[in-house]
Amino acid sequence: MANVNPDLRKERENGTFSVEKLTNLLDGGKHVTDRRRHVERLALNEFSKGEDYNFMSRKERYISALHKTERALRCCKEYGLTKPDEVYWLWQLAFPHEASPIQLHGDMFLPTLTRQGTEEQVNKYLPLAEKYQIIGTYAQTEMGHGTFIRGLETTATYDPQTEEFILHSPTLTSLKWWPGGLGKTSNYAIVMALLYTNGKNYGMHPFMVQLRSHETHEPLPGITIGDIGPKFGFDTIDNGFVQFDHFRIPREDMLMKYSQVLKDGTYVKSTKLKKSSYGVMVLVRSMLIYYLAIQGLAPACTIAIRYSAVRRQSEQTKSQLEPQILDYQTQQYKLFPILASAYAVLFTGVKMKEIYYEVDNEIQQGHTERLPELHALSSGLKALTSSMASWCIERCRLACGGHGYSAASGFPKIYVAVTAACTYEGENTVMLLQCARYLIKTYQGASNGKKLSGSVSYLSDKVNSRSTITSEFSLKSLVDAFKHRAFRFQACGSDPEDSWNRNSVVLTKAAEAHCYYYMVSVFESVVEAVEDDAVKRVVGQLCQLFALFAIHENAGDFVQDGFISNDQMELVKWKELSLLSDIRRNAVLLVDAFDFHDEFIGSILGRFDGNVYANLFEWAKSSPLNKPEVQESYIKYLQPLLNPNKSKL
């Protein structure tokens, strides 16, 4: 490639494996890579030019996002992109680290309609929603409650006289607050409300609610609605509020697949599916893990590692060229475990998607046995990987010095988009506790001789009391270490009822230990399945580093019961550092394998060609603050201070 920074060029000439083969592995096959690249080319034709996001106001960002939404929908139609992956690849480049104002329409509104609606309801609303004549959101969270769903206050009271539900916000804290796209964009919402009929409260149920007129888009009478204001990030989407004042909807608009209200107000529960109305959250949590890798961890370490290959700083040996900062062991220690985590989370995300669709299929056939495990695993992994991604993006930013703090780095936009995932779709602490609740119950079952399967099968296994880690550091011995730790945490858990709060810190760690064991196991199985020796070796090194970094960071968990001896822990530390130099040679190629376009990464520091300085200067000069040369406000406010006599002229 012409005009590539010489340091980056050298990195790419010095690798030990085929980047293309690794890209194919990450995509799930060559055919997928080819198709993805084709769709991305279409997207770049449409979206690669445009105003710099960094120089736009919030309102401009929202307006630009509406325009891009219309263009993206048109592109998908024009190019016949209907498969979820293909649509995603286009939208990734249309909205790099941004949310479209209609994101909740696809993420939660449609899945809730199709999973919670009757056939008639789906037949009525889905065609309109697929043509975007209905743009919906998912309105569950209220000003006063987000985590505690059973504490939500919005009511839907059935009126048998008119065969309608009356939606009402009885208190200020009952206002729906946060739903994406609710403020200005959506004209419908699936509203989660307390169902009252015949004077009895039947708990949270989903209701299809029209919010705005089809003709004028004005809010309907009885509805007060708007944007909740600027946020930590997510500037392009109008997270909103809505207040219902005895707003009436037809009885038929309660989504009635799992429970019904008859014309006379009789309530009928037609399924044993536990928490049926919570289903869409399991879907989103399960899908989120993969996106945390490719929208968070992977772009962030791509930026930091490419920049660390072109940034030269300080003097290691007299009169020598300043070294690439990627040659500092401390820089490698900052970045390579993150690189390993990006691969670990990506592989786990792929596996989680597979499991979700397997279990969802079973549920559609009426078999719900695996739902509790899916809920626990998706909750725990969502919490662990979103926390991991947030921590890693900030550490990548810190590794890039001053330019890492510039918007030109791309880090601010990536960070504020990803860190929200620690809160939405279930606040992380609460999600870990949900996972722990399941593990403790499952462990108790195993202790009574129940044979377990899936991600909890280890709880009915015999576990080694001593680690088998040797200087070979076999992946199996590393997986076994995490299995032992997870088992030990579950064994010392508590009964979910009696001392829950007093044990909840330990319980969150038990959930994390379980999820780490799961991630290392998935990573090991991916490595074992790799056919190409060179790729197997380098991905195997990342798996070793992911495991050893976590063992070292949590050494107490592994040495406390003598499972890993002090000598073995010394070996762990030695191997962790020696892996840094092993991985150094391939670091740039390992991020190149993610195959990101510069337009997606949005970072001058992380450009594929490594030409940082010239482009950083051009970018800075393009800042609107640099035109005109002297700002009018300066003349007005400061000039008089500098020239007091002049101001009298």
Ligand X SMILES: CC(C)(COP(=O)(O)OP(=O)(O)OC[C@H]1O[C@@H](n2cnc3c(N)ncnc32)[C@H](O)[C@@H]1OP(=O)(O)O)[C@@H](O)C(=O)NCCC(=O)NCCSC(=O)/C=C/CC(=O)O
Ligand Y SMILES: Cc1cc2nc3c(=O)[nH]c(=O)nc-3n(C[C@H](O)[C@H](O)[C@H](O)COP(=O)(O)OP(=O)(O)OC[C@H]3O[C@@H](n4cnc5c(N)ncnc54)[C@H](O)[C@@H]3O)c2cc1C
- CB-wise, 174 or 308, nearer to ligand X? 174
CB 182 within 8 A of CB 242: yes
Taking each helix axis from N to C end, the angle separating 298-310 and 411-419, rounded to the nearest 10 degrees, works out to 160
| Member of 278, 500, 608, 619 binding ligand X (CB under 6 A) | 278
**CA-to-CA distance for 469 and 576, rounded, in angstroms?**
13
- CB-wise, 103 or 348, nearer to ligand X? 103
**CA-to-CA distance for 377 and 637, rounded, in angstroms?**
59
| Member of 121, 141, 169, 390 binding ligand X (CB under 6 A) | 141
| Member of 81, 175, 284, 359 binding ligand X (CB under 6 A) | 284
- CB-wise, 143 or 284, nearer to ligand X? 284
Site string for ligand X, 450-479 (x = CB under 6 A): ------------------------------
Catalytic residue among 86, 153, 425, 576: 425
**CA-to-CA distance for 617 and 621, rounded, in angstroms?**
6
Alpha-carbon dihedral sign for residues 177, 180, 185, 191: negative
Stretch that binds ligand X, among 279-287, 293-301, 312-320, 541-549 (CB under 6 A): 279-287
Cβ at position 224, least distance to ligand X in Å: 21
Q: Does 103 bind ligand X (CB under 6 A)?
A: yes
Binding partner of 150, given ligand Y, ligand X, none, CB within 5-8 angstroms per partner class: ligand X
For 138-150, letters b (16+ CB in 10 Å) and e give bbbbbbebbeebe
Return the number of other C-beta atoms located less than 10 Å from residue 100's C-beta: 23
Binding partner of 267, given ligand X, ligand Y, none, CB within 5-8 angstroms per partner class: none
DSSP strand pairing (164-168 vs 176-177): unpaired
| 163 noted as active-site residue | no
**CA-to-CA distance for 416 and 361, rounded, in angstroms?**
34
Cβ at position 237, least distance to ligand Y in Å: 8
| Member of 185, 286, 434, 503 binding ligand X (CB under 6 A) | 434
Q: Does 56 bind ligand X (CB under 6 A)?
A: no
Q: Does 352 bind ligand X (CB under 6 A)?
A: no
| Member of 9, 248, 275, 370 binding ligand X (CB under 6 A) | 275
**CA-to-CA distance for 527 and 536, rounded, in angstroms?**
6
Q: Mapped to the 3 state alphabet, what secondary structure does 569-616 carry?
A: HHHHHHHHHHHHHHHHCCHHHHHHCCCCCHHHHCCCCCCCCCCHHHHH
In a 10 Å sphere around its CB, with 0-12 CB exposed, 13-18 middle and 19+ buried, how is residue 9 labelled?
middle
**CA-to-CA distance for 594 and 607, rounded, in angstroms?**
13
Task: Pick the closest to residue 302 from 19, 634, 587, 630 (CA basis).
Answer: 587
Q: Does 145 bind ligand X (CB under 6 A)?
A: no
Binding partner of 274, given ligand X, ligand Y, none, CB within 5-8 angstroms per partner class: ligand X
Q: Does 372 bind ligand X (CB under 6 A)?
A: yes
Task: Pick the closest to residue 138 from 277, 339, 308 (CA basis).
Answer: 277
Three-point CA angle 172, 174, 176, nearest 5°: 110
Cβ at position 191, least distance to ligand Y in Å: 10
What is the binding site for ligand Y (CB under 6 A)? 104, 138-141, 145-147, 178-180, 234, 239, 420, 423-424, 426-427, 429-430, 433
CB 546 within 8 A of CB 337: yes
- CB-wise, 382 or 483, nearer to ligand X? 382
- CB-wise, 420 or 520, nearer to ligand Y? 420
- CB-wise, 508 or 603, nearer to ligand Y? 508
Q: Does 235 bind ligand X (CB under 6 A)?
A: no
The verdict on whether residue 180 carries a ligand-binding annotation is yes
Transcribe 29-81 into DSSP letters.
Answer: SHHHHHHHHHHHHHHHHHHSSS--GGG--HHHHHHHHHHHHHHHHHHHHHHT-
Residue 86 contacts by C-beta under 8 Å, 6 or more apart in sequence?
35, 39
- CB-wise, 185 or 302, nearer to ligand Y? 185
Binding partner of 282, given ligand Y, ligand X, none, CB within 5-8 angstroms per partner class: ligand X
Binding partner of 149, given ligand X, ligand Y, none, CB within 5-8 angstroms per partner class: ligand X
Token look-up 């690794």 returns: 22
Q: Mapped to the 3 state alphabet, what secondary structure does 83-133 carry?
A: CHHHHHHHHHHHCCCCCCCCHHHHHHHHHHHHHHCCHHHHHHHHHHHHCCC
Binding partner of 371, given ligand Y, ligand X, none, CB within 5-8 angstroms per partner class: ligand X
Q: Does 445 bind ligand X (CB under 6 A)?
A: no
CB 283 within 8 A of CB 109: no
| Member of 25, 149, 297, 384 binding ligand X (CB under 6 A) | 149
Q: Does 238 bind ligand X (CB under 6 A)?
A: no
Q: Which residue is nearest to ligand Y (CB)?
A: 146
Cβ at position 376, least distance to ligand Y in Å: 16
Backbone angles phi, psi at 523, to 5 degrees: -60, -45
Binding partner of 284, given ligand X, ligand Y, none, CB within 5-8 angstroms per partner class: ligand X
Cβ at position 137, least distance to ligand X in Å: 9
Task: Reply yes or no: is the peptide bond before residue 628 cis, omega within 30 of 0.
Answer: yes
Look at residue 166 and give its three-state secondary structure: strand
Q: Does 274 bind ligand X (CB under 6 A)?
A: yes
Q: Does 403 bind ligand X (CB under 6 A)?
A: no
| Member of 225, 281, 435, 579 binding ligand X (CB under 6 A) | 281
Binding partner of 239, given ligand Y, ligand X, none, CB within 5-8 angstroms per partner class: ligand Y
- CB-wise, 17 or 424, nearer to ligand Y? 424
Q: Does 418 bind ligand X (CB under 6 A)?
A: no
Task: Pick the closest to residue 542 from 558, 557, 520 (CA basis).
Answer: 520
The verdict on whether residue 141 carries a ligand-binding annotation is yes
**CA-to-CA distance for 511 and 509, rounded, in angstroms?**
5
- CB-wise, 91 or 109, nearer to ligand Y? 109
| Member of 49, 59, 131, 148 binding ligand X (CB under 6 A) | 148
Cβ at position 118, least distance to ligand X in Å: 20
Q: Could you tell me how many residues of this chain bind ligand X (CB under 6 A)?
A: 29
Cβ at position 101, least distance to ligand Y in Å: 12
- CB-wise, 8 or 420, nearer to ligand Y? 420
DSSP strand pairing (188-197 vs 155-159): parallel
- Binding-site residues for FAD: 141, 180
Catalytic positions, written as ranges? 425
Which chain residues interact with ligand X by CB under 6 A? 103-104, 107, 138, 140-141, 146-150, 180, 274-275, 278, 281-282, 284, 371-372, 375, 424-426, 430, 434, 437-438, 441
Binding site: residue ranges?
141, 180
